């Protein structure tokens, strides 16, 4: 807390980008008895603890503590109180795909009045008829965009800075929302389940991959546009019960209605993800969305990912460009009957610095240790003391042994992560995390 000045038992910390100082709780006052929503990120707990640390809305005055159980209440809480520290306690289940009066909105509701018809869209852009060069444009693509804009306006919600949002109980959830931390600083998300941010209107891109792909817009939580100091803890992220595997194939490709789970992009920085449960999702954690340096990514995208469980995740856990990303003590589990095809876990992208230590990988027969790493223009990665099915395994050596010479990855000797809590032996990780990830807390205060 080097930028902090002690004044009469409180602290004043400079806000983001020169904003006037806001009062925050004295972090030294935090004890085991501190209610969930008043807790701050402990010192030394990952990149989000760098310099001023992450306090979220822990110091909120009573007037800025909100108990919400509907979408309207949640959005009103986000919109109130300006930059003041704010606590939002979510009760029960909130569904984003609902109208102002709380009635459910379906994909058909958004398409109403736009002339969008999936059947017509499929007819207009069928590569079997028009070839792979025909990019969607014209009335049906215009209609799709209109309908998609209506859904985006309904489900895309920005969490403001200096905010702590928690599930009031382990059962609290938000379904269908594309939450964002959009250019904001100092946000804590804990004890909350975020599920199924399905896009009603996937777009066909005939030039994506060799066969074309359906692409969707929404991440469950997007950290974007120079957002900084974000702590995501003891939360759950999943597509269930709406898995992409239950969607049809169109044009021979999966009609994928989900994008990322937590994506960190566009110059965002200083994020810690701890004790979360990520499950049943394909493209999970994208850190850096482009190889181009123009979005402010070089030197940013510093993320710590520790003590999380990844169960039946297809790829990008994480996939990194530019960032210095510390991945330790996580449990990656792929089950025999996973509905999500396993591609890889750790993606070494352009100019990436991934450091993977003491993680446990539980893989079924048919998935080899060589598949854990994927190379996407990266040149180096550090892996140390990881375990595969209980046995300490050099996963970079396994990867290199199976990779073509041009795809070899060197050891990344450019950095050693600091800002760590205790590092456990990889073999202890599965038992350690068995019942301790995801929402497990009950908030304090007057419930």
**Binding positions for Ca ion, rule: CB under 5 A:** 215, 219, 259-260, 263
Nearer to Ca ion, 112 or 291 (CB): 291
Nearer to Ca ion, 77 or 184 (CB): 184
CB of 254 to Ca ion, least distance (A): 12
Cα 54 to Cα 229: distance, rounded to the nearest angstrom: 5
Cα 437 to Cα 184: distance, rounded to the nearest angstrom: 26
Could you tell me which residues come within 8 angstroms of residue 201 by beta carbon, excluding any fewer than 6 positions away?
107, 110, 111, 116, 144, 147, 148, 151
CA geometry: angle 28, 34, 35, nearest 5 deg = 145
- Furthest-apart CA pair in the chain: how many Å? 74
CB of 60 to Ca ion, least distance (A): 30
CB of 319 to Ca ion, least distance (A): 11
Strand partners, 398: none
CB of 224 to Ca ion, least distance (A): 9
CB of 270 to Ca ion, least distance (A): 19
- Neighbouring C-alpha atoms within 13 Å toward the C-beta of 163: 24
Give the residue closest to Ca ion by C-beta.
260
CA geometry: angle 142, 136, 238, nearest 5 deg = 85
SS3 of 281, please? strand
Q: Is 156 a catalytic residue?
A: no
Nearer to Ca ion, 255 or 442 (CB): 255
Nearer to Ca ion, 259 or 269 (CB): 259
CB of 320 to Ca ion, least distance (A): 14
Nearer to Ca ion, 86 or 283 (CB): 283
CB of 142 to Ca ion, least distance (A): 21
Of 185, 178, 177, residue with least CA distance to 160: 185
What separation in angstroms does the CA of 166 have from each of 188, 230, 251, 375?
Answer: 8, 13, 41, 36
Nearer to Ca ion, 259 or 311 (CB): 259
Could you tell me which residues come within 8 angstroms of residue 273 by beta carbon, excluding any fewer than 6 positions away?
46, 232, 233, 262, 285, 303, 304, 305, 306, 308
Nearer to Ca ion, 111 or 197 (CB): 197
What separation in angstroms does the CA of 79 have from each of 72, 73, 86, 89, 382?
Answer: 11, 10, 11, 15, 43
SS3 of 244, please? helix
Q: Which of 144, 316, 319, 321 is catalytic?
A: 316
Active-site amino acid positions: 316
């Amino acid at each position: 807390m080097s930028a902090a000045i002690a004044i009469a038992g409180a602290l004043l910390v400079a806000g983001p980008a020169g904003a006037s100082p806001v009062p925050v709780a004295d972090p030294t006052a935090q004890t085991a008895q501190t209610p969930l929503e008043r807790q701050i990120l402990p010192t030394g707990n990952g990149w989000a603890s760098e310099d001023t640390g992450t306090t979220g809305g822990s110091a909120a005055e009573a007037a800025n503590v909100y108990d919400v159980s509907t979408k309207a209440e949640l959005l009103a809480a986000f919109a109130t109180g300006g930059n003041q520290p704010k606590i939002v306690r979510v009760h029960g289940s909130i569904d984003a795909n609902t109208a102002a009066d709380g009635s459910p909105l379906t994909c058909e509701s958004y398409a109403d009045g736009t002339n969008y018809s999936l059947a017509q869209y499929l007819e207009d852009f069928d590569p079997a008829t028009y070839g792979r060069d025909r990019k969607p444009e014209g009335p049906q693509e215009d209609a799709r965009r209109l309908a998609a804009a209506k859904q985006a306006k309904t489900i895309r919600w920005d969490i403001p800075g200096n905010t702590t949002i928690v599930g009031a109980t382990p059962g609290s959830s938000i379904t269908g929302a594309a939450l964002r931390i959009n250019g904001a600083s100092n946000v804590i998300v804990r004890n909350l389940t975020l599920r199924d941010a399905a896009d009603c209107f996937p777009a066909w891109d005939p030039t994506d991959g060799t066969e074309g792909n359906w692409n969707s817009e929404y991440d469950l939580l997007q950290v974007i546009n120079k957002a900084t100091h974000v702590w995501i803890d003891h939360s759950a992220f999943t597509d269930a019960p709406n898995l992409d595997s239950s969607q049809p194939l169109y044009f021979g490709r999966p009609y994928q209605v989900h994008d990322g789970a937590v994506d960190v992009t566009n110059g965002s920085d200083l994020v810690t993800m701890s004790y979360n449960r990520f499950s049943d999702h394909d493209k999970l954690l994208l850190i850096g969305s482009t190889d181009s340096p123009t979005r402010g990514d070089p030197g940013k995208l510093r993320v710590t990912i520790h003590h999380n469980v990844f169960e039946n995740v297809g790829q990008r856990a994480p996939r990194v460009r530019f960032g210095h990303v510390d991945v330790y003590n996580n449990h990656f589990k792929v089950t025999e009957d996973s509905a999500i095809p396993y591609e890889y876990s750790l993606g070494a992208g352009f100019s990436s610095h991934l450091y993977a230590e003491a993680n446990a990988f539980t893989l079924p027969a048919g998935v080899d240790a060589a598949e854990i790493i994927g190379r996407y223009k990266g040149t180096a990665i550090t892996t140390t003391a990881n375990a595969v099915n209980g046995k300490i395994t050099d996963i970079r050596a396994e990867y290199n042994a199976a990779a073509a010479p041009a795809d070899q990855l060197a050891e990344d000797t450019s950095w050693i992560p600091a800002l760590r809590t205790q590092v456990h032996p990889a073999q202890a990780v599965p038992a350690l995390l068995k019942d301790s990830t995801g929402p497990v807390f009950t908030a304090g205060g007057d419930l």
